[in-house]
Amino acid sequence: MKAAVLEGYNKNGCDLVVKDIPVPAISGEEVLVKVHTAGVNPLDNMIIHGEVKLIVQYSFPLIMGNEFVGIIEKTGGTVRDFKVGDRVYGRMPLKNIGAFAEYVAVNQNAIAKVPEYLSDEEAACVPLTALTALQAFELMNPKKGETVFISGGTGSLGAMAIPVAKSFGLTVITNGNGESRDRVLKLGADRFIDYKKENYADILSNVDYVLDTLGDRELPNEFKILKDEGSLVSLRGLPNGEFAARSNMSLIKRCLFKIAGSKYDRMAGQKNQKYFFIFVHEDGAGLSRISEIFKGTPIEASVDEVFSLDDVNKALKKVASGGSKGKTVLRIS
Ligand SMILES: NC(=O)c1ccc[n+]([C@@H]2O[C@H](COP(=O)([O-])OP(=O)(O)OC[C@H]3O[C@@H](n4cnc5c(N)ncnc54)[C@H](OP(=O)(O)O)[C@@H]3O)[C@@H](O)[C@H]2O)c1
């Protein structure tokens, strides 16, 4: 089968090699999926650059790709909830990625059935970012009617985080690129702020939660608009001790991340706020919940641009270059 392979970390580039490798064998708990589409994420570039190696250490050669949509062709002996022919999607297990390939062998606990109305390209917008949003909102534990500010909501994360936030009954304020204003309001955002025209930190205050996608440069302002005792979940800041403990990391990593994230823990501490970092992990049950939410309230998925597997490096460059209007997708078969 064809697969896009990384031979070793590369600080600046995105030069995967598309090559022929054997179709993977499956274990009893796995299914073999013929991949139709795969989402391309900023995370793929971060992995290539070696930016997440303290969180997950990969060995090489590594088949890249964190999320896929496809059809099950084979099931392992203990697989009960899925059968050959099911159209499924999933965020690949953290330690066992590889969605940029014609086939993936993936654990049954990482996948869910795709809502029928979504095309393969639209479905590729869902797993990684919708699970990220779900995992963030589960940490916030919000009540209906509360308000969340999602920074940078005009990208692929916002396209899922906004409808997921609405399913929790939240009022959603987001900012981002003005060209995507109408699309983002259509997704369900209650208020949009064009980041090139207005500074949200001058006009917002006392929001109940912040979902941060921008990291260090924006975190001080995001804590400023957050109410006393409010919670901020960051996707781009530094991991802290709480993250390392929640992820069952070794004592060394707990100490390391405690030091790394202490700057943000201190910022949060000034107003008794809470700082969380997340690194989205596979979760088939969570994704099934997402599928149910999106069956009940159909979403308009935001597909930005579609590339072939052979053009994977162009797709990665597109994601790195900004100007995102949603998800960059690979059409594989
Ligand atoms: N920790 C995790 O598990 C996890 C999971 C998913 C995503 N993430 C992270 O979340 C971030 C967003 O992901 P994504 O897929 O949505 O990226 P994306 O598709 O590239 O979108 C980013 C969006 O943010 C906008 N933006 C840039 N600078 C901004 C600013 N100063 N203020 C407001 N908006 C701004 C961009 O607009 P322009 O067009 O103007 O640049 C773009 O619309 C990435 O850093 C990604 O690595 C982390």
Task: Write the pLDDT tens digit of every residue in 144-161.
Answer: 999 999 999 999 999 999
Binned at pLDDT 50, 70 and 90, residue 12 comes out as confident
The 3-class SS string of 180-208 reads HHHHHHHCCCCEEEECCCCCHHHHCCCEE
Report d(CA 332, CA 73) in Å as an integer: 16
Per-residue pLDDT for 80 more than 90? Answer: yes
Tens of pLDDT along 201-258? 999 999 999 999 999 999 999 999 999 999 999 999 999 999 999 999 999 999 999 9
Q: Please, is 296 exposed, middle or buried when counting C-beta atoms within 10 Å of its C-beta (0-12, 13-18, 19+)?
A: exposed
The predicted pLDDT at position 239 comes to 97
The protein residue with its alpha carbon nearest to ligand 1, atom 27, reads: 152
Per-residue pLDDT for 7 more than 90? Answer: yes
The protein residue with its alpha carbon nearest to ligand 1, atom 13, reads: 157
- Contact indicator for 52, 243 with CB cutoff of 8 Å: no
Q: 192 vs 32, 167, 174, 181, CA distance in Å?
A: 42, 18, 5, 7
Per-residue pLDDT for 14 more than 90? Answer: no
Helix (H, G, I), strand (E, B) or coil at 226: strand
Residue 104 alpha carbon to ligand 1 centre in Å: 27
Three-point CA angle 3, 309, 52, nearest 5°: 65
Report d(CA 70, CA 62) in Å as an integer: 20
Residue 251 alpha carbon to ligand 1 centre in Å: 31
Atom number in ligand 1 closest to CA 327:
19
Binned at pLDDT 50, 70 and 90, residue 55 comes out as very high
Atom number in ligand 1 closest to CA 180:
43
Atom number in ligand 1 closest to CA 215:
45
Name the residue ranges covered by the structural domains of the chain.
2-126+302-331, 128-277
Residue 115 alpha carbon to ligand 1 centre in Å: 26
The predicted pLDDT at position 255 comes to 97
CATH of 2-126+302-331, one of 3.40.50.450, 3.20.20.70, 3.90.180.10, 3.40.640.10: 3.90.180.10
- CATH says 128-277 is which class? alpha beta
Report d(CA 179, CA 162) in Å as an integer: 17
Fold agreement (2-126+302-331, 128-277): no
What percentage of residues in the chain have a pLDDT greater than 70?
Answer: 100
Report d(CA 200, CA 28) in Å as an integer: 51
The protein residue with its alpha carbon nearest to ligand 1, atom 15, reads: 156
Residue 220 tokens read as 């001080």
- Contact indicator for 17, 114 with CB cutoff of 8 Å: no
Report d(CA 81, CA 30) in Å as an integer: 11
Helix (H, G, I), strand (E, B) or coil at 324: coil
Residues with CB under 6 A from ligand 1: 41-43, 129, 132, 151-152, 154-158, 175-177, 195, 213-214, 235-236, 278-280, 322-324
**In the beta sheet, which residues pair with residue 307?**
330
The structure's pTM equals: 0.97
